[in-house]
């Protein structure tokens, strides 16, 4: 009879929930956005063309101690996991026989921040797409902050992020001629630890600056996300995530052997790592699964479908099934053969996948970000979304990184028409005398018609 085991999914690459984490909530302080130059440390890691609007040192320390676990935070975290599997299923429709790596969390985080800039009419649809339907914006912000606090090992202000095995960064880049809304900038800093910068999107320096930011926040693993910005780009919101961990029980490199990997596209040779001993193991009628732990508390779950159709399996997988794996597993003695693997891809189809999930921010006609992101009274929407992601797994551990950039466009004003008309009032005409008021706008005082003079 097959044994079943507990899979301890401890917030690893495949699991993003902050369930089980307890925190006290703090109100958002009323702060002005400082108009200061970057510190010396920031200047060393920033492109010269980036002009900071908000510094993380000025963000409120909203989550600093553990406290009671809230139902809303748990619901948002669960919804983020649900979003992860729905997004992967949507992206897998085009994968064919290719590999795929995606960081759903790197996509979810900027969209969660943009909830604060979305119009009231489109906000419910965005929350629903993010798995947070019916949850208030304030609760989503609090939950996002708690996730960041927990995932980064309670080090919200670590200067040397290289010491941490998980680094997460958020940024919003804004057209240098456009004022970013201060309330959004402050919320972005307080809850998402996000920095705000000014760029000239018509220049090559803007492309270089965003790519350098990506490189700085992924330890140089991802250094090109953007090739160019569209002429009507008004802002870009970005997330970077970097993970580097060593196995608690590493594979013996001397046991690695060359063997055959049977792919739907045909057979190939691969180096298989070998490990025997106790594993956190799960099996049912569909799959076998083991969870491999990293130092620091993260883990990676390897799932092997019996029918060999990994794409089909992941397309149907849910966060609830991942929870079942965790609750119905046991420690078991066994042997694992796992090929070394390295996957890197650029998700140019991310926009289409998000539209398929019901994210309403790409509706150009409606302009769902109008009035919430920048002060100018112009129509704003998301025009594009792209993610570059990579993962490498070997005998010592795993390294993974992803950068997501979402571009916001605005409705460019048409050129003024040429003055080619003439008006000769030599026939009856109408007149309206009005005066401007605060509440009513142009208030009509007199109105009439002139039929004769």
Biggest CA pair distance of the chain: 106
Residue 91: phi and psi, rounded to 5, are -70, -30
Per-residue CA distances from 388 to 168, 175, 176, 242, 400 (Å): 15, 23, 26, 12, 11
Tens-place pLDDT, residues 208-256: 999 999 999 999 999 999 999 999 999 999 999 999 889 889 999 999 9
Q: What is the pLDDT of residue 35?
A: 39
Q: What is the pLDDT of residue 453?
A: 55
Q: What is the pLDDT of residue 358?
A: 97
pTM score, whole prediction: 0.78
6 Cβ partners below 8 Å, 6+ apart? Answer: 280, 282, 326, 327, 328, 329, 330, 331
Q: What percent of the chain has pLDDT over 70?
A: 73
Determine the Cα–Cα distance for residues 116 and 129; give it in Å rounded to an integer: 15
Helix (H, G, I), strand (E, B) or coil at 92: helix
Q: Give the mean pLDDT of 372-382.
A: 89
Q: What is the pLDDT of residue 442?
A: 46
CA angle centred on 4, ends 300 and 309, rounded to 5° = 60
Residue 436 has pLDDT above 80, yes or no: no
Q: Give the mean pLDDT of 118-140.
A: 96
Q: How many CB atoms lie within 10 A of CB 36?
A: 12
Question: DSSP character for 38?
Answer: P
For the chain, count helices (H), then strands (E): 10, 14
Q: pLDDT grade, residue 18 (50/70/90)? A: very low
Q: pLDDT grade, residue 448 (50/70/90)? A: low
Closest CA to 37 of 52, 26, 24, 25: 52
Residue 264 has pLDDT above 90, yes or no: no
Q: What is the pLDDT of residue 3?
A: 36
Q: Give the mean pLDDT of 303-316.
A: 89
Helix (H, G, I), strand (E, B) or coil at 286: coil
Determine the Cα–Cα distance for residues 373 and 323; give it in Å rounded to an integer: 37
Q: What is the pLDDT of residue 219?
A: 94
CA angle centred on 129, ends 126 and 132, rounded to 5° = 85
373 Cβ partners below 8 Å, 6+ apart? Answer: 114, 117, 180, 181, 184, 234, 235, 380, 408
Determine the Cα–Cα distance for residues 394 and 292; give it in Å rounded to an integer: 12
Range scoring the smallest mean pLDDT among 24-33, 119-128, 150-159: 24-33
Q: What is the pLDDT of residue 56?
A: 45
Tens-place pLDDT, residues 33-67: 333 333 333 333 334 344 454 444 444 544 433 44
Residue 302: phi and psi, rounded to 5, are -105, 125
Residue 41 burial class via C-beta count within 10 angstroms: exposed 0-12, middle 13-18, buried 19 and up? exposed
Determine the Cα–Cα distance for residues 413 and 437; give it in Å rounded to an integer: 27
Report all structural domains of the chain as residue ranges with CATH numbers, in order of start.
1-418 (3.30.497.10)
Write out the DSSP string of 166-232. EEEEEEEEEETTSPBPHHHHHHHHHHH-EEEEEE-TTSHHHHHHHHHHHHHTTTTS---S-S---TT
CA angle centred on 249, ends 246 and 255, rounded to 5° = 100
Write out the DSSP string of 295-312. TTS-EEEEEEETTS-HHH
Determine the Cα–Cα distance for residues 135 and 261; give it in Å rounded to an integer: 46
Q: Give the mean pLDDT of 160-187.
A: 84
Residue 117 has pLDDT above 50, yes or no: yes
Tens-place pLDDT, residues 389-418: 999 989 999 899 999 999 999 986 544 455
Size of the chain, expressed as the number of residues it contains: 453
Q: How many CB atoms lie within 10 A of CB 426?
A: 6
Determine the Cα–Cα distance for residues 278 and 301; give it in Å rounded to an integer: 15
Closest CA to 182 of 33, 377, 376, 55: 33
Determine the Cα–Cα distance for residues 83 and 132; give it in Å rounded to an integer: 9
CA angle centred on 109, ends 171 and 349, rounded to 5° = 95
Asked whether 90 and 104 are in contact (CB, 8 A), the reply is: no
Q: Give the mean pLDDT of 165-183.
A: 92
């Amino acid at each position: 009879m097959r044994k079943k085991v507990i899979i301890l999914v401890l917030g690893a690459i495949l699991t993003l929930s902050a369930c089980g984490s307890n925190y006290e909530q703090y109100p958002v302080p009323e702060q002005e956005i400082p108009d200061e130059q970057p510190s010396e440390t920031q200047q060393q890691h920033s492109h010269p063309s980036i002009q900071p609007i908000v510094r993380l040192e000025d963000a409120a320390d909203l989550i600093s101690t553990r406290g009671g676990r809230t139902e809303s935070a748990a619901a948002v975290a669960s919804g983020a996991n649900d979003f992860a599997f729905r997004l992967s299923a949507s992206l897998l429709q085009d994968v064919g026989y290719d590999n795929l790596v995606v960081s759903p969390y790197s996509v979810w985080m900027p969209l969660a921040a943009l909830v604060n800039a979305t119009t009231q009419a489109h906000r419910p649809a965005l929350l629903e797409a993010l798995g947070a339907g019916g949850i208030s914006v304030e609760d989503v912000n609090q939950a996002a902050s708690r996730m960041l606090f927990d995932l980064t090992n309670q080090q919200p202000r670590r200067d040397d992020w290289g010491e941490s095995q998980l680094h997460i960064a958020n940024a919003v880049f804004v057209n240098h001629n456009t004022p970013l809304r201060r309330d959004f900038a402050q919320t972005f800093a307080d809850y998402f630890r996000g920095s705000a910068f000014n760029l000239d999107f018509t220049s090559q320096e803007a492309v270089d600056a965003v790519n350098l930011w990506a490189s700085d926040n992924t330890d140089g693993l991802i250094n090109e996300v953007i090739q160019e910005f569209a002429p009507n780009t008004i802002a870009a919101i970005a997330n970077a995530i970097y993970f580097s961990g060593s196995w608690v029980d590493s594979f013996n490199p001397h046991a690695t052997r060359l063997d055959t990997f049977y792919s739907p596209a045909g057979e190939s040779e691969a180096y298989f790592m070998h490990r025997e001993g106790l594993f956190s193991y799960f099996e049912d009628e569909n799959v076998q699964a083991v969870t491999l732990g990293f130092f620091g508390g993260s883990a990676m779950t390897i799932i092997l479908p019996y029918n060999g159709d990994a794409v089909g399996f992941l397309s149907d997988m849910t966060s609830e099934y991942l929870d079942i794996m965790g609750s119905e597993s046991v420690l078991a003695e066994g042997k694992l053969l796992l090929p070394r693997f390295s996957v890197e891809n650029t998700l140019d189809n991310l926009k289409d996948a998000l539209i398929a999930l019901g994210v309403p921010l790409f509706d150009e006609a409606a302009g769902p970000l109008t009035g919430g992101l920048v002060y100018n009274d112009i129509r704003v929407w998301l025009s594009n979304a792209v993610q570059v992601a990579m993962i490498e797994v070997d005998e010592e551990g795993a390294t993974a990184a992803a950068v997501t950039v979402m571009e916001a466009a605005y409705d460019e004003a048409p050129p003024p028409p040429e003055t080619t008309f003439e008006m000769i009032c030599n026939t009856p005409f109408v007149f309206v005398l009005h005066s401007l008021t605060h509440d009513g706008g142009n208030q009509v005082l007199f109105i009439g018609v002139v039929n004769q003079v």
